[in-house]
Amino acid sequence: MQFKNLIFLFLLQFSFNVFGQGANDFAFVLSERAVNKVFSAIGEINGKSAYEILGIIEGEYKWKVINPKISFKPDSSDFTCDVKVDVGPFSYKSQVLGHVKIGYDNSINQISIKIVDAVFELYTMVLKKKVHIKNIHLEDYFKDPFLFDGPKSFATDMSFTMPDSTVKQIYVQPSDCVMKVMKQAIKTSCDIVAQDKPFKKEVKVTPPVQVESSNKNKTQKNNP
């Protein structure tokens, strides 16, 4: 299953905070709650197929994702969910832990949030023994990342009427933006530059840096 890239205007979708103290002029905050609202709108995520064991046992398996959630953390963000699995007459639930990669593309001004390494085991029971069928890679069902417009979208211009009735155009754009992943949010802090001529200099954005998860391809508890 693929779904279309979800692109939202960064300034409208996320909260805007003005600092009373600090070195930056303003900050954008993208909460994990906002991202999970988008996630919920995707709808049910499931799969099914035929299986065969040892050339003698055949059947069909079905699985469905329950309670998917993306969590932002300073060190390594993650994706969690439960999966309900039916393999013939046998059913069980698995807890899945996956890694979330957060990045920023300066050339197109987009923040990307992509699920990677979310794996659970598909198995059945034969003569009271657990028999492995295959691993299901949920990241294959999320080929497209969530995409959001970045801080360059803040650039704007405004008009001022001068005392002599002439109109002066003022141009404003972010400058030296730093993006950080915090607990439950992605925060981008920026200074701004204002001048009476259009800008030629590009906005500098420092993308977030996160440690790669050491729990890649990790399947959590399986509860027959």
Strand 205-206 and strand 167-182: the pairing is parallel
**100: in domain:** yes
Q: Look at residue 205 in the predicted model and tell me its pLDDT.
A: 84
- Kindly report, residue by residue over 140-153, the tens digit of the pLDDT: 999 899 999 888 88
In a domain, 129, yes or no: yes
Domain-located, residue 191? no
When pLDDT is cut at 50, 70 and 90, the band that residue 111 belongs to is: very high
Domain interval for residue 85: 7-153
Per residue in 173-217, pLDDT (tens digit) is: 888 889 999 999 999 998 888 988 888 877 778 888 665 544 444
Tokens of 36: 């999970």
What pLDDT, on the 0 to 100 scale, is given for residue 133? 92
Q: What is the pLDDT of residues 119-166, one digit of tens each?
A: 999 999 888 889 999 999 999 999 899 999 888 888 888 898 989 999
Cα–Cα distances in Å, from 173 out to 25, 77, 204? 11, 30, 11
Is residue 221 situated within a structural domain? no
**Residue 136 has what pLDDT?**
95
What token pair was written down for 210? 């996160």
Domain count, the chain: 1
Residue 37 is inside which H or E element, if any? helix 32-41
State pTM to two decimals.
0.76
- How is residue 146 written in tokens? 């969530």
64 within some domain: yes
**Cα-based distances in Å from 41 to 37, 44, 134, 146:** 7, 9, 29, 12
In a domain, 170, yes or no: no
194: enclosing H helix or E strand = strand 185-195
- The answer as to whether 22 is a domain residue is yes
Q: Identify whether 69 is part of a domain.
A: yes
**What's the average model confidence in pLDDT over 84-106?**
93
Q: 76 forms bridges with which residues in the sheet?
A: none
Average pLDDT (44-59) is 87
